[in-house]
């Protein structure tokens, strides 16, 4: 039976990794867009 109220260590580690990867990709995209804006692209 799944306890939907609590996450175990594996679930927390997986979620943390996914969020870190997402933030890294989003940050890279934001920097690219910001740079192209300032360079007249």
Residue range 5-38, pLDDT digits in tens: 788 899 999 999 999 998 888 887 666 666 655 5
Q: Which pair of tokens denotes residue 36? A: 């192209």
Q: How far apart are alpha carbons 35 and 22 in whole angstroms?
A: 20
3-23 residues labelled b (16+ CB within 10 A) or e (exposed)? eeeeeeeeeeeeeeeeeeeee
Residues 15, 7 contacting (CB under 8 angstroms): yes
What's the pTM value of the predicted model, to 2 decimals? 0.52
Q: What is the per-residue pLDDT for 39?
A: 53
Residue 2 gets which letter from DSSP?
A: -
Q: What is the per-residue pLDDT for 5?
A: 74
Asked whether the predicted pLDDT for residue 1 surpasses 60, the reply is no
Q: What is the per-residue pLDDT for 14?
A: 93
Asked whether the predicted pLDDT for residue 40 surpasses 70, the reply is no
């Amino acid at each position: 039976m799944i306890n939907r109220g609590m996450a175990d260590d594996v679930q927390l580690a997986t979620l943390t990794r996914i969020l870190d990867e997402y933030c890294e990709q989003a940050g890279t995209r934001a920097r690219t867009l910001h740079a192209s804006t300032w360079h007249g692209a």
